[in-house]
């Protein structure tokens, strides 16, 4: 260990903290240890406890996996050590755009979401696949987020999954202006597959009728024309 950063993290680097990225104090100047607040005071004020070494330094959310690049809540980049949005192959939206563009009136697609226990290659008796019926989501918006719902973090995907292997912001379906649909992986922890093939993290893939997207432990999503 080289030293302790102003936030109290043990750092392996002498210039910037290897945990949170804060500038290290000048050599020979030891930072004062943070004064711990009483548990009752912290709870009463609603202050989030100081993140541990595997927690997100930006929001304190536990890291989904030791090799996960992005925080599932605030999209902090653990590799770059800085806040950031997930990699994307799509052109960024104009800064003046206050809301996603309306969906084309001619769009006639739907997402058919099913639970497929055969996809669960590492079953956990504590969390078996739910016995839920097929769910259908009309593709009526230009963007549809797919992932696990988290009311505490105000993450409410348009396609909410009951799958512990899915990220909160796992992927999104994009309805293009020409009426076609694309899949955008949002740097998810466990990845996404299209027709059984891995999707490059952050990439955008055009879809066609009956293409199948699999993700998480048991989620299968098929693109079909609306009746």
Which pLDDT score, from 0 to 100, does residue 116 have?
95
**Bridge partners, 198 (sequence order):** 193
> Is the residue at 134 inside a domain?
yes
Burial of 113 (0-12, 13-18, 19+ CB in 10 A): buried
> Is the residue at 69 inside a domain?
no
**Bridge partners, 150 (sequence order):** 155
Task: Judge whether 148 and 127 are in contact, CB under 8 Å.
Answer: no
Indicate which CATH number applies to the domain containing 194.
Answer: 2.60.200.20
User: Strand 212-215 vs strand 192-194: parallel, antiparallel, or unpaired?
Assistant: antiparallel
Burial of 180 (0-12, 13-18, 19+ CB in 10 A): middle
> Is the residue at 137 inside a domain?
yes
Give the list of residues 6+ apart from residue 124 with CB closer than 8 angstroms, or none.
none
> Is the residue at 60 inside a domain?
no
Q: How many domains does the chain have?
A: 1
**Separation between Cα atoms, residue 199 and residue 168, nearest integer Å:** 18
Two structure tokens written together for 58:
């930006």
> Is the residue at 152 inside a domain?
yes
Q: What is the residue-level pLDDT of the chain in tens, covering all 227 positions?
A: 567 777 677 776 666 666 666 666 764 445 445 544 444 443 444 444 444 556 777 666 666 666 666 676 666 777 777 766 544 444 444 444 445 555 454 569 999 999 999 999 888 888 899 989 999 999 999 999 999 998 888 899 999 999 999 999 999 999 999 999 999 999 888 899 999 999 998 899 999 999 999 999 999 999 999 98
Query: In 76-166, which ranges are E strands?
Result: 109-115, 135-138, 143-147, 159-160
Which pLDDT score, from 0 to 100, does residue 227 have?
87
Which pLDDT score, from 0 to 100, does residue 68 have?
67
> Is the residue at 126 inside a domain?
yes
> Is the residue at 72 inside a domain?
no
Q: Which residue range is the domain that position 188 belongs to?
A: 109-225
Task: Judge whether 168 and 72 are in contact, CB under 8 Å.
Answer: yes
> Is the residue at 188 inside a domain?
yes
Other beta carbons within 10 Å of 190? 16
């Amino acid at each position: 260990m080289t030293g302790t950063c102003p936030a109290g993290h043990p750092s392996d680097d002498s210039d910037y903290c290897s945990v949170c990225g804060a500038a290290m104090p000048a050599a020979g100047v030891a930072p004062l240890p943070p004064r711990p607040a009483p548990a009752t005071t912290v709870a009463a004020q609603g202050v989030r406890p100081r993140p541990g070494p595997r927690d997100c330094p930006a929001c304190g959310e536990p890291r989904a996996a030791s090799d996960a690049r992005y925080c599932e809540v605030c999209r902090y980049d653990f590799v770059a050590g800085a806040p950031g949005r997930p990699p994307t192959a799509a052109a960024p939206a104009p800064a003046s755009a206050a809301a996603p563009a309306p969906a084309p009136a001619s769009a006639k697609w739907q997402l058919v979401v099913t639970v497929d226990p055969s996809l669960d290659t590492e079953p956990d008796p504590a969390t078996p696949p739910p016995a839920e019926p097929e769910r259908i989501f009309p593709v009526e918006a230009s963007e549809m987020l797919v992932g696990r719902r988290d009311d505490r973090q105000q993450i409410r995907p348009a396609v909410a999954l009951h799958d512990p292997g899915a990220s909160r912001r796992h992927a999104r379906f994009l309805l293009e202006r020409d009426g076609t649909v694309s899949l955008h992986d949002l740097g998810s922890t466990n990845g996404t597959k299209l027709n059984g093939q891995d999707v490059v993290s952050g990439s955008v893939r055009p879809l066609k009728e009956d293409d199948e997207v699999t993700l998480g432990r048991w989620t299968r999503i098929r693109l079909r024309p609306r009746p």
